[in-house]
Every structure is written in C-alpha cells, then in structure tokens.
Structure 1
Amino acid sequence: MADHAIYSTPRLVTDLRDCCFYHTTAIPGYGLVQGQWDLRKGVRHYLGNVPLAGKRVLDVGAASGFLTFYMESQGAEVVSYDLAPEHPWDIVPFAGVDVAGCLAERREIIRKLNNAYWLCHHAFGSRARMVHGTLYDVPAAIDAVDVAACGSVLLHVRDPFLALQNVLRLTRETVVVTDLLPRRHLASYWLARLARPRMTFVPDARRGGPQDSWWILSPEVVRRFLEVLGFEDTRLSRHWHPYEGRKRLLYTVVGRRTRARPAV
C-alpha cells in the first residue's frame, strides 16, 4: 500500500506567466497554451497504444503534466513523478562552465514546470498525485503500478539503466519508453533490427553542449535494458511529432513483464 506522506500537497496556481509548459495543452478556462512539444494528435502512438483504463500508472518525468492528464482522461489512476526545485537537474558538468549558475537556472525552470502542472491539475479537476524526486531514488513507498510511462527522459540522465531499474522495480505489467531519434541517425534507424545496440555519448566539449542531454539511445539498446530487467516481450513503433514547429522522429518501445518483479 502506498505511503500517502510521499505525495505533494496540491497548490493553487493561476498565473500562466509564472509557468513553463513542456507540452502544448488545451487548458479549461485558459485556452490553448503552447509548449515545446505538441503531442495532441499522436499521443496514443507516443504511449505505444497501451490500454490505460483501470490501470495504476506512473508518469515518469511528468513536467507540466500533459501525459498525466491525458492518461487520467483514459481511465487511469496516475501518479506523476518529477523533480522539484530542491532536486538537482542531471546536467553535464563541462569543465570551465559555471555549473552552480546552470543549476540555479534549472531550478527556476523546474519551479515553473511544477507551477504549470498544478495550474493544469486544478483546471482539469485532476485526482492525480504528485511525488517529487530523482530517478536515482524513486521511492518504494509509491508502491506497485501496472504501467510505467517514460516519455523522453532517459536521454537526460547520466545513468539511464539505473533510472529504468528504479522505475521498473515498481512496475507489475507494462513499461512504455519513448525517446528521440535525431535526424542524423535516420538512416541507421531503418537498419535497427540488424544493427548492434548503440548508446552515443552526446556532450561535446568543443562546443560546450548540450548541458541537459547525455545519450542517444537506439531502440535496440532500450530493448536490451528491458530484457535484462524482466520485460522480454517488446514491440517497437515510430512516430513524428512537432517540436517547436518542426516534425521530429521518435520511437516507442513497449515492454511486457515476463519475469517476476523483485521485492521492494
């Protein structure tokens, strides 16, 4: 049974100017608010067309909450999980860069993302619960979930395997991992079933960036991760979504648990 002490108390936020939206969202009482990503027309594909009605779902990296509130609208009981300002963003510590300054900037972004989540939570009349923390310390007190949705989060963490391991120890049935496939890797995507699993280290010291992305993960390496963690029945799909006005290619790997969940 979940420990209710871990859940954040809902806050009343009404000022859009003090919010940051990761996803474009049509919000009751506010209208259409633009975000970086627009998943509205393809959200089912983004989530691997996984049935959600009656499921307890963990939305990993909930950001401003678009996926949380969509999954709730499909009949899921949703626990949102994301950073709060007191949790450090997993930035790349380039030598010579003001890391403390970067972390301060990220804290402000997190604060505004949290505000956007609570503004939407109230506007949608949501019953979703929020837990704050990092992917390196996912509380066991969340208790078991049927589905874990990891939407474009693994590329942003230094240790994506550990992040998945911490999420999947709570997951009874299904995991959905969606991630970005950069344009320069499109050719290799079509040969993915023949290629070896690949993790490409993204940070480039010559240009000092990116500061918040660590890896390009091929679909095959995600499949290998899931197989090791007991989700050996996997399927892969691809889909396009607008990002800041341009279409970007993403892939989704859906994994079904085939081996017993570890004790937590």
Structure 2
Amino acid sequence: MESAGAQVTALEPPMSHLWDVVPSQGIDLVAWRNGFSRQIERVRNSFWYAHAELKSSVRMIEVDPYQMTDTIGNFDIGLLAAVLLHCRRPFDLLESVAARTRKTIIVTEVYNASLGEQAACAFLPHRGVDQVDTWWHFTPQFFVSALGLLGFTEARVIFHTQRQPSVEGRIVELFTVVCEKPGNT
C-alpha cells in the first residue's frame, strides 16, 4: 500500500494483551501464551527489519484495538485482514475501527460456505478441540450488515483463494467485503 502512495499506519495490540485467548480447560494457557509471544516477537522484528530495509515510513502504533482513542488520528481506509476470527468481541472491534475511518472499511476472512448467505457467525470453540486462538467463522453478509449499521452502507463482496504458506498445497477460501460510506465510491 505504501509503495502505491498510501500513508500507512499499522495498529498492533500491546504485548500485554497480545491475543483474545479462548479459555479452554486442560490447555496450559501460560505455556501457550509464552510460546506465542516468542512467535509474535519474531513477526514484529521482521516488520521492523523490512521497515528499515525498504526505508519505509509506515507508522506502527500499539493500541488496544477495542478502544482506539482520538490521539491515533483518523484514516481514510481501515483494513482488517483475517483478524476478526481471532477476536472475542468482533463487533466491538469493528465499531472501534469505524469510529476512526472516514471512507472505507475492508474485511477479509475465511469463507465457510456451510454458514449460508444470512448475516451470521459461528462460534468455533468447543470441548475436545485443543485450540485457543480462533473464535469465529463469519458470512460475508455479517460484515455487510454490521458495517451498514455503522454507516458503511455501500458494499461489495469478493470471493478468492490464498495459498497457506505453512501447509504445502493447502488453498484457503476467503472473502473480502469492501464497505464504504455513501458518496465515497
């Protein structure tokens, strides 16, 4: 985005919050969080390495994504790329982003065709599954409806696939919802 001329601000939750972990009996959440913290530190270090190598001017801000204050400013476009499935309170996060966004919000998430075409989300955690990092699957209509409530009423949906780099040959089905405030198309 920066190379195309955009002024980019990346938002990251503070390491003290890090992730909305699913509380799950029988999983050592302290050990999980410690291992995950090391992974995230490597990801953040790679961001700063690329930032320096590319002489980037991307601004990075650590902020509670559920309570973004006026001090971070406003943005023309808000982009949420495969993050809401990891959030305990996805609507609250959308609302927080919408409050800081003037024109367009773009949401990309995993597509689960079995959810149908209604505005819906499926709660994924359940007993017997040892995962603590994924809460939800959504339909595209969920975001069309939710963002419409927040004033982003002009919507379009794109379906696409992406290779998952960590699993050879795995293709992930995704959707992207682009919602704009009227008059900003």
Same fold (TM over 0.5): yes
For residue 227 of structure 1, what is the aligned residue in structure 2? 148
The answer as to 2:133 corresponding to 1:203 is: no
**142, 159, 174: which one aligns with 2:89:** 159
2:90 counterpart letter in structure 1: P
Mapped partners of 1:92, 1:180: distance in 2: 18
C-alpha displacement of 1:104 = 1.6
The answer on whether the counterparts of 1:86 and 1:107 sit within 8 Å (CA) in structure 2 is no
The answer as to 2:46 corresponding to 1:97 is: no
2:150 counterpart letter in structure 1: L
Kindly provide the CA deviation profile for residues 81-124 of structure 1, in whole angstroms up to 9, marking residues without a partner as x: 11343333111110232222222222212211110100010111
TM-score (norm 1): 0.65
Coordinate RMSD, CA, aligned: 1.6
Unaligned runs of 5+ in 2: none
**163, 179, 184: which one aligns with 1:255:** 179
Mapped partners of 1:139, 1:88: distance in 2: 18
2:161 counterpart letter in structure 1: W
Kindly provide the CA deviation profile for residues 158-191 of structure 1, in whole angstroms up to 9, marking residues without a partner as x: 010001111110000001101111xxx33x47xx
Mapped partners of 1:172, 1:207: distance in 2: 40
Mapped partners of 1:109, 1:139: distance in 2: 28
1:228 counterpart letter in structure 2: L
TM-score (norm 2): 0.91
C-alpha displacement of 1:232 = 0.8
Percent of pairs with identical residues: 31
The answer as to 2:66 corresponding to 1:118 is: no
The answer on whether the counterparts of 1:161 and 1:225 sit within 8 Å (CA) in structure 2 is yes
Q: Structure 1 residues 114, 84: CA separation in 2 closer, same or farther (over 3 Å shift)?
A: farther
For residue 139 of structure 2, what is the aligned residue in structure 1? 218
Equivalent residues, number: 180
Mapped partners of 1:235, 1:91: distance in 2: 31
1:203 counterpart letter in structure 2: P
The answer on whether the counterparts of 1:89 and 1:106 sit within 8 Å (CA) in structure 2 is no
